[in-house]
Structure 1
Amino acid sequence: MEPLLIALARVCDVSLGTLRVISIARGRKVLAPILGFFEVLIWLVAIGQLLQNITSPVHYVAYAGGFAIGTFAGIRIEEKLALGVVLVRVITRHDASRLLARLRDEGFGITHVDAHGASGAVHVIFSLAKRSETGRLVSIITEYNPNAFYSVEDVRFVSDSASLASGASSGLLRRLIFPKKK
């Protein structure tokens, strides 16, 4: 039973650690320390159990296995939560008026710029969206033009999240998900 407890504790603390590191990278100054507190608290339980059974190889395997599974689980949890904001940049040589209209109709805020690339005139479209909306946004882009070049990048700070797709967040959750740069 103790090896299972150690493995489970490691899955939990490493998952929290993964989320904490991602929170730090995204500038979530409130969320990261809260996750860190619980990460270390759970780790103390795991290491305490391991030290009580220091001569048991099964306990070491449980500790290491929990770490590996926790790393995977943390990444999966973060993908499912899809917290944060992305900037999607689209570059296309085709007329972009239908794509622009569709993105606006779907509730995405967009900025359109006529530009010149290596092969001539292009349209550049910028759109900020919640990370959870990335799949839908990319699907619209590829439906319009399967050959359009697009890139998706994480945005660390936004000045105002009210204009993002799918409505605005509010209160504490808004401050945790969309921190403002000071």
Structure 2
Amino acid sequence: MLDNALVMIGLILLINIVYVSFFTIRMILTLKGQRYLAAFISVFEVIIYVIGLGIVLENLDNLYNLIAYATGYGLGVLVGMKIEEKLALGYIKVNVIVKDVNTEIPRILRDKGYGVTSWIANGLEGERLMIEILTSRKSEVDLYNTVKKIDEKAFIISHEPKAFYGGFWVKKVRR
């Protein structure tokens, strides 16, 4: 089977896409504190890596194998990022700044279940309403769409919190 050059190139490409996808997901899980799942995934990651690298090293005389390996690595990064995007692990803190200090955005977001804190802030052009929201990454797009539907000129910035404690919403969060 490995005598056919196209089959070998395809196999190397596929192996590296799978390997780097596992690598990307493992790194993200590690950063998110999911150490046992990350360790479990790393077992398969290393097995796939050794098999793919072994095939390439046994056949270094063929430049196409090396190109397939490198291309598979790049595609694996993209696939791994897409998988992580779909998993949407973790939480984000979103700050929204709007001109209208009497906007209904805080009430609407609270009605949708978001944890919202708001206060009047002073900007370059006067008073603004500052709104801080903590939500899961899975709800991120819905949150942005809700805010933009109410105030398309709202300034939105998000951060990924490393840790959070206390507050009413944290009681609902699965640890």
Q: Secondary structure at the match of 1:107?
A: coil
Counterparts of 1:161 and 1:60, CA distance in 2: 53
Counterparts of 2:137 and 2:109, CA distance in 1: 16
Once the two structures are TM-superposed, the CA of residue 156 in structure 1 deviates from its matched residue by 2.4
Tell me the equivalent position of 1:151: 157
- Indicate conservation of the 8 Å contact 1:83/1:131, yes or no: yes
Counterparts of 1:4 and 1:86, CA distance in 2: 39
* 1:22 is aligned to 2:28: yes
Tell me the equivalent position of 1:89: 95
* 1:79 is aligned to 2:60: no
Counterparts of 1:103 and 1:21, CA distance in 2: 33
RMSD between aligned alpha carbons? Answer: 2.2
Counterparts of 1:103 and 1:121, CA distance in 2: 21
- Indicate conservation of the 8 Å contact 1:114/1:122, yes or no: yes
How many residue pairs get aligned? The number is 168
Counterparts of 1:90 and 1:97, CA distance in 2: 12
Q: Secondary structure at the match of 1:110?
A: strand
Change (3 A) 1:85 1:19: same
AA in 1 matched with 2:54: G
Tell me the equivalent position of 1:42: 48
Q: Which of 1 and 2 has greater Rg?
A: 2
- Indicate conservation of the 8 Å contact 2:101/2:127, yes or no: no
* 1:70 is aligned to 2:70: no
Deviations 1:24-70 (A, max 9, x none): 33343333333333222210110111122221222212211211110
- TM-score where L is the length of structure 2: 0.84
Counterparts of 2:162 and 2:26, CA distance in 1: 15
Identity %: 30
Q: Secondary structure at the match of 2:61?
A: coil
- Indicate conservation of the 8 Å contact 1:13/1:42, yes or no: yes
Tell me the equivalent position of 1:3: 9
AA in 2 matched with 1:93: K
Q: Secondary structure at the match of 1:54?
A: coil
Unaligned runs of 5+ in 2: 1-6
